[in-house]
Every structure is written in C-alpha cells, then in structure tokens.
Structure 1
Amino acid sequence: MKLRYLLFLLLPFFVTSCKKENQKPFIPKNHLADFITEKSQFFDLDTIEFKEIIGKYGTKIRYVRDYFNLKQNDKVQLELIELYDFNEILYRNIQTLTTDNELLETSGVLKIVFTSNGKKLNLRKGEKIIVYPPKRKLKNNTIFLSESDHTGNIKWKITSQNYRLFSIYRGGGIWIETLIDKDSIPYYKKINLNSIGHETYEKYLSKDLIVKDFFILNQNDTNWINIDRFVKNTSKINFKLNDKSNKFSGFDSYIVYKNINSFIHESKFENDILFENIPISGTTYIIIVGSYRTQIYYDKITLNEKLDNSEIQLNMKKTTKEELKNLFKQ
C-alpha cells in the first residue's frame, strides 16, 4: 500500500521529467534566414587612390585610399550589402529598435566594410567617407549605426549628420565641392559673394551650391548602417504570455506592424515570457515561434493598449517555414 502511494506521488515528477528530456536546450534562431536573397557585393579596389563605387541598387560611395592607414602595396576590398526591400531586412532579423528602445521605420539598411589582407580597415582619425543612397531615400530620415545587445540582437544608435557638400568659388570659373558643417553655410556664402567678381549675382543664386542627399561615416563607423525615421505617436505596453503545453524550451518572438517597415525580435526562455515596454503603433501583432522535435509551431496575437499588464494564453499551432513567411506579409 505504501509503495502504491509513493508511486502515485512520484508519477507527476516522472511525467514532467520525460517531457523535459524531450525538450532540446533553447537556442535563438532566425526562422526566416532561408528566404534571404540579397548577397554581398565585393569591389576589388587594389591600390587605386580614388574611386566612386556604385552598388547595383544605386548606392554611391566615395573611396579615397589616403583616408586609411595602408602600406604602399596593400590591396583594398569593399564589401557592400544593399537592403532596400523591407522583407530582406526582416529575413536577416535586423530589427528596427534604438538603443533607447524607441521604434524606427526603416527606408533601407547597408553594410559597408573595407578590408585589406583579410582585416577590417578603420578610417584615420578625422577622415570621413561620403555615401549617397538612392534618390529620396534620405528624405525625412537620419542615419543610425548598429550595436549588438547581450542577446546578439542589433539595435541602433543615432548619428550626427551635421554636414553639407558646398560649392566654393576658387576663381577662374572653378567651383570646388567641399564638405562643411551646415552651420557654417552663411559664412561660405559670404566668401563666395565676395569672390565672384565678374560673375553676376543672378548666376550665383541659380547655382545648386548645397548637396544634402548623402551621409558621412567616421572612424570605426563602417559596418551596418540604417536609414530610418522615428515612429511617432506610439504607446507602450507590458504583458506576459503563458504556455501550458510544456513542449517548448523557448520562443522567438516578432513584434510586427501593419503598413510600416518596422519590427522587433526578442528571444524568450519557457519560464520568462514577459514583455516590457513594447511599442504599439496602429495594427500591431506578436508572432511567437517555437520548435518541438522537428516541428515548427506558432501563434499570432493582435496587440493593443487594452492588453497592458495582462497575461495571454498561447495557442501554438503547427506550421511550415513557407507558411511562417506568409504570416509576415502585410
């Protein structure tokens, strides 16, 4: 009788243990990586002193060899990735969240890396590389540089882009395009007016003196670059997800937004499915993905302000990678 009673008490433990043994340790995964189509473009610059490099989608980069610390015969190569299709950004799991947890909407992501002899090159102190995205990509946007958080997720830090290319008159009909601080434009305009001499004031006014559709990269800035704007009028909520199936050791979650090019990725262990300060903007969803043995499961839940500080029960359903991809279509 005592033996039966002991077995009865231990039965839940054995059942739970069996379930846990079937679970593999959770490793965050990019479930959309198989759909990436954009590849790196490589440009062999050899020992060329100056070159304007143009990517297949129109990104232009002004390369100047003297801006790097190089030996005479060091050969240089540029790796460029142009991601102007939001799906490609999503498939690479490049989320649109700042280091201050503010939501961004992206107009494109670039990877720009110069190397020599297999090692990454950094610009000399004080030097700047000029990059021109395709036309209108910079309109109402600014430039953010990548930083990785403790989970390996990319977050973005805003940069100061306080520069303009300004044409300065050097005499004899020669104008030199020069990189200047935008606050000094009135000063250089005055210099031009004093130097024109035989040229008419009307000709000067009609000349396109100021170029704005570019950004600059400083020392150590070459890597992932995001062309973004802040998403306005967002609210933030906290909530917890509850999974009673006991199948999953962890989850990959995606916060996605209808009609804006934004998303957030977070990985969660089974005993920590708490979400804090999640931005809500318009129609917002969370897509939860988990794996059990070789099968992928998901749940998709609409989020809104009414769910703040709530607990939501998961209803995980079987899916495939292709079906999962379709869940993200707006």
Structure 2
Amino acid sequence: MKKNITLKILVLLILILNNSCNKDNIDPKRVNILKKFNKVNKQIFELDTIEFKQIIGEKGTKIYFNRELFDIKENDRITFELKEFYDFEDLVFNDLRTITHKNEILKSKGVIYADFFVNNERVNLKKGKKIRIDFPDNKLENNDIYLGKIDSLNQISWIEQKRDSLCEVVLYIGGGISKRITTTTDSIKYYEKQNKLILRKEKIFRENNKRLNSSILTAKIGWINIDKIIDKLDKVSFKIELVEKEFDNLQIVCLFDNSFSFKTFYRTKDNLNFKDLPYIKDITSIVVFGFENENIFCDKIYIKNNVNSEFKVDLKKANEKEIIELLKK
C-alpha cells in the first residue's frame, strides 16, 4: 500500500515538473514591466437598444452591429468595447505574443479586442450567426485570422479560424422590399434555391465584392489576430549572462522576424538558459529588460547561427522612445 502511494506521489511530481518545463520556466512573480508604456485606449460605444450601427474605431476598424444577431432580450441595453493594437509596440507592451496553441510562430498585422455586454456581462451571437468586421489598410491581404485564448498563466495563444470567401448580395424580402447583406460565397446557391436572390450583372457583382477583401464574418468575438505562420525556422540554444548590474527578475522579448513576431519570457537571473528556441539567421534578436526603482534597463543581441552560445548583455537605462526604436531596428 505504501509503495503504491509513493509511486503515485512520484508520478505526480514528474507531471508537475514537465508542466513547468512546458511553460518556459515562467517566474510566478512575473510582471510585465513594459505595460506602463501602453497607449491603447479602451473604446466604449453605448448602443442602447438600436437595431443597426456601423461602429468605427479610432484606428479604422469597422464593426457592423445588427441587434438580431445576438442572444439578448428586447429591451436589453448593449455596450460595445473595442481595443485596436496595430503598432508593433502595442503588441509588445501588452504582451500579445504571436504564438499559436500548437507553438507555431506567427507574424502579425495587428490585433483587436471586440466584445459586447449587457449589464457588464458578455453576450454571445446566436447559434449560426456571424458578425462582419472590416480591418483597415489592406491588413488582411495574404493573411489568416486567429482567435485568442487566455491560459491559466494569463498568456495568450492563437487558434486559426477558417476565413470564408465573402460577397454582397441583394435578397428579395417580399412586398417589393429587398435588402443587401454580406454573406459567404458558398451561401449563394442556398439563396438561389429559396428564390430570394436578386441577380446582378457579373461585372457589378465583382466590383462590389472587391471591398470585402478587408472583411471577415466571424461567429466568435473577443481577441482577433491578423496573422500568417512563419515557416522554415531553425532551432538554437544559448545562455544569457548579465554584465555588471544584476536584476532579480528579467523580461526577455524574442523578436523572430524583425518585427510583428515575438514571444516574451519572464525569467529570474539564475534561469537564463534557453533551449531549442526558433530563430532566423541574422534576423532573430533578443531584447533583455530589467527593472529598478521605476526605471527600465535594456540591451539587444542578434542570433547569428545555431551554435550553442553564451551572450553577454549590458543593460542600460532607456526611455520609452529608445525602447520603441530598439524593438523596431
């Protein structure tokens, strides 16, 4: 009996140890010291009981609100919340790392957070319903859509969502009334069978649908990321050693592909070994941050090859402008 209990305890300890390793040896006292530089505003839109509204964010995101899409009561007053993260420093300062749930590396064109509330409680779309979102500046071109999931350590990972081909069609409602809707191209046959589709000249149809290259229809809202996977990454192992000044806790940002692709590590000064980190030769870099007396210190190194190496970093005091330049260059 005692042997069985001992064996179970041993197995449990092994599982805990493995789980710790899979979480990148995260320091439980970790604090995002770059959060203080965040400039992204929480935008609040009071929709009350209106039926339709095109919501436009400060940076150009458009959301097409239709009350009928939501699982709510007739007199519920709806509030919409939007955050737009379209600059690379916005992603880093808020630690919106570009990693999928399969640990794949993404290159992002931007992230939004969009959600609807009634009495401070989230409301969902009805089953089978989708809401249209337009992104600015052709950000969707040659990219995919990923939805964010927050884990128990408050880290975000991204799960790919199928991106439908969209079109605009005019439907006959009845009594001489018609309406234009955005739908998926594979829905056209359904509307044709229902004798609701009002046919248009093919040239006009194509021109109208060019505008939808920056649009998605999604059944889920919340964290939404415009990304594509970075292929052909090598692996590298290395150790970081601090020069002179030591910091108990460090925030380490790995920039995989110049910019818009990164992962953040939170480590103690005694835990600066990295194993099998993805990288691209002469492009991937590491920015190390330390924090002392409300001041931030940092240094940057480049990964030149996949030979096991030891990098010495000399953290120097930096302001917000210098940190942004360091992340971009």
Query: Structure 2 length as normaliser, TM-score?
Result: 0.77
- 1:37-52 to 2 correspondence within 5 Å? 37-52=39-54
How far 1:292 moved relative to its partner?
5.0
- 1:192-231 to 2 correspondence within 5 Å? 203-208=201-206, 210=209, 211-218=212-219, 221-231=220-230
Question: For residues 232-263 of structure 1, what are the alpha-carbon distances to aligned partners after superposition, in whole Å with 9 as ceiling and x for unaligned?
Answer: 33223233334586943332100125644222
Q: How many residues align?
A: 296
How far 1:229 moved relative to its partner?
1.5
* Alignment check: 8 A CA contact 1:165 1:178 kept: yes
How far 1:134 moved relative to its partner?
1.6
Q: Is the partner of 2:306 in helix, strand or coil?
A: helix
Q: Answer with 1 or 2: which has the greater Rg.
A: 1
How far 1:119 moved relative to its partner?
1.3
Give distance in 2, aligned partners of 1:257 and 1:327.
Answer: 14
Give distance in 1, aligned partners of 2:315 and 2:270.
Answer: 20
Partner of 1:286: 286
* Alignment check: 8 A CA contact 1:128 1:217 kept: yes
Change (3 A) 1:238 1:149: farther
Give distance in 1, aligned partners of 2:58 and 2:76.
Answer: 26
* Alignment check: 8 A CA contact 2:88 2:259 kept: no
> Cα RMSD between the aligned structures?
3.3
Change (3 A) 1:175 1:277: farther
How far 1:319 moved relative to its partner?
1.3
- 1:147-186 to 2 correspondence within 5 Å? 147-167=149-169, 170=172, 176-180=180-184, 182-183=185-186
Identity of aligned residues (%): 30
Partner of 1:317: 315
Give distance in 2, aligned partners of 1:69 and 1:196.
Answer: 29
Give distance in 1, aligned partners of 2:323 and 2:47.
Answer: 41
Partner of 1:33: 35
How far 1:35 moved relative to its partner?
2.5
Partner of 2:9: none
Partner of 1:113: 115
- 1:252-263 to 2 correspondence within 5 Å? 252-257=251-256, 259-263=258-262
How far 1:49 moved relative to its partner?
1.6
* Alignment check: 8 A CA contact 1:39 1:81 kept: yes
Change (3 A) 1:153 1:195: closer
* Alignment check: 8 A CA contact 1:299 1:316 kept: yes
Change (3 A) 1:165 1:276: farther
Partner of 2:19: none
How far 1:173 moved relative to its partner?
10
- Which letter maps to 1:70? I
Give distance in 2, aligned partners of 1:26 and 1:152.
Answer: 11
- Which letter maps to 1:301? I
| Residue 266 (structure 2) pairs with residue 267 (structure 1) | yes
Question: For residues 112-144 of structure 1, what are the alpha-carbon distances to aligned partners after superposition, in whole Å with 9 as ceiling and x for unaligned?
Answer: 011111112222222211111124121111111
Question: For residues 37-74 of structure 1, what are the alpha-carbon distances to aligned partners after superposition, in whole Å with 9 as ceiling and x for unaligned?
Answer: 22111111001122121222221111122322323322
Unaligned runs of 5+ in 2: 1-26
Partner of 1:74: 76
Question: For residues 155-204 of structure 1, what are the alpha-carbon distances to aligned partners after superposition, in whole Å with 9 as ceiling and x for unaligned?
Answer: 21111123523425649895743523x4455x46976999879x8xxx33
- Which letter maps to 1:316? D
Pick aligned residue for 1:63 from 41, 62, 65: 65
Give distance in 2, aligned partners of 1:244 and 1:291.
Answer: 15
* Alignment check: 8 A CA contact 1:280 1:304 kept: no
Give distance in 2, aligned partners of 1:294 and 1:38.
Answer: 21
Unaligned runs of 5+ in 1: 1-24
* Alignment check: 8 A CA contact 2:288 2:298 kept: yes
Give distance in 1, aligned partners of 2:302 and 2:197.
Answer: 63
* Alignment check: 8 A CA contact 2:234 2:279 kept: yes
